[in-house]
Amino acid sequence: MGRYIAGRLLSLVFVLFAVSIIAFLLMHAVPGGPFAPDEKGRLPEATRQAQLEKFGLDKPLYVQYVRYVGNAVQGDFGVPFQSPTETVTELILRTWPVTIKIGIPTILLAYGLGTVLGFIAALRQNSWLDYTVSFGATLGLVVPNFVVALWLLLFFSVYLGWLDPGGWGEPQHYIMPVVAYALAPMALVARYTRSSILEVLRADYVRTARAKGLAERRVLAWHVGRNALIPFVTILLPEIPNILTGSIFIESVFRIPGLGRFFVTSTQSRDYPMILALVLLIAVLWGITYLITDILYTILDPRIRLGGRAGSL
């Protein structure tokens, strides 16, 4: 297990290297730049050249990339063009904790309640509970989270006046963003849990366990629940990095000073250091998530072994 984890972490380093090259070339291939003059020509040419020299953007691309990698391995990811008074690392450390404080309760609500609802819908297949959960899950997937956020604002802030329409720092400021953010992943979890449970309930080993006279509670907990979690882990666990890196819509609607809005603004403003840092951050989260997923496989199904033998991951 230790050698496998070490090997995966080493491969993650090469993945980050490849991702950085691709992201670097793509963002420089897009027309325009952070200091390109607009259609009205407001930026004087002398000022533009000074800015390019200041940030090293006047050098050839390979020189810029080598310099960036050399600084990045030392923990220096540059200075964001949209916030030049702080470094990229300082900006992420300032804003990401806010996004994580929204993301963690979102994950707990979406995965906890979604799993319970999916389990209930599967056990009560074709009942009114099943139809209600299926309808709610479909609604949660098709309605964008910013529309849900606007509905919550209209109902709880405007009509009822129970909650503040935005802000940050008070416990009540978590309620509407978490609910709006959790609805879509909760619907996804409920749908996949339901389909996975139904598939396992029809398996031969479940019928055999019931034929042996095992208690229904034990059959559901040991044979059904455990085996149904394997596709659940495969499909749904990788959703966690998306939640932990924030939503531009949720943070904008509720005026949350998190990291999510920089995913869009950095692209719009051609903020190269911020773009690269966010891409690498997402790549690291995805790599760690898939490593955890593979480890969970061995816990849920002892027949799976990590390594190079046939039939193993």
Q: Is residue 234 part of a domain?
A: yes
Q: 117 in helix, strand or coil? A: helix
d(CA 9, CA 202): 38
CB of 225 closer than 8 Å to CB of 265: no
Structure token pair of residue 12: 């993650």
As a whole number, the mean pLDDT across the chain is: 82
Could you list the residue range(s) of the whole structural domain that residue 242 is in?
88-262
Q: Is residue 271 part of a domain?
A: no
| pLDDT band at 306; cut points 50, 70, 90 | low
Q: Is residue 192 part of a domain?
A: yes
Which own/partner contact pairs does 21-30 have at CB distance under 8 Å and 24+ positions apart? 21/65, 23/275, 23/276, 23/279, 23/280, 24/61, 24/64, 24/65, 24/68, 24/276, 25/61, 27/270, 27/272, 27/275, 27/276, 28/61, 28/272, 30/270
Q: Is residue 57 part of a domain?
A: no
Asked whether the predicted pLDDT for residue 279 surpasses 80, the reply is: yes
Q: Is residue 7 part of a domain?
A: no
Greater confidence, 51 or 78? 78
How many domains are contained in the chain?
A: 1
Q: The domain spanning residue 115 has which CATH number?
A: 1.10.3720.10
| pLDDT band at 222; cut points 50, 70, 90 | low
CB of 103 closer than 8 Å to CB of 175: no
CB of 49 closer than 8 Å to CB of 33: no
What does the pLDDT read at residue 22?
Answer: 92
Mean local confidence (pLDDT), 251-263:
83
d(CA 114, CA 191): 8
Q: Is residue 194 part of a domain?
A: yes
What does the pLDDT read at residue 291?
Answer: 83
Asked whether the predicted pLDDT for residue 44 surpasses 70, the reply is: no
Count CB atoms within 10 A of the CB of residue 131.
Answer: 13
Asked whether the predicted pLDDT for residue 300 surpasses 70, the reply is: no
What does the pLDDT read at residue 263?
Answer: 78
Q: Is residue 74 part of a domain?
A: no
Count CB atoms within 10 A of the CB of residue 56.
Answer: 12
Q: Is residue 141 part of a domain?
A: yes
Q: In one letter, which amino acid is 300?
A: L
d(CA 176, CA 180): 6
| pLDDT band at 288; cut points 50, 70, 90 | confident
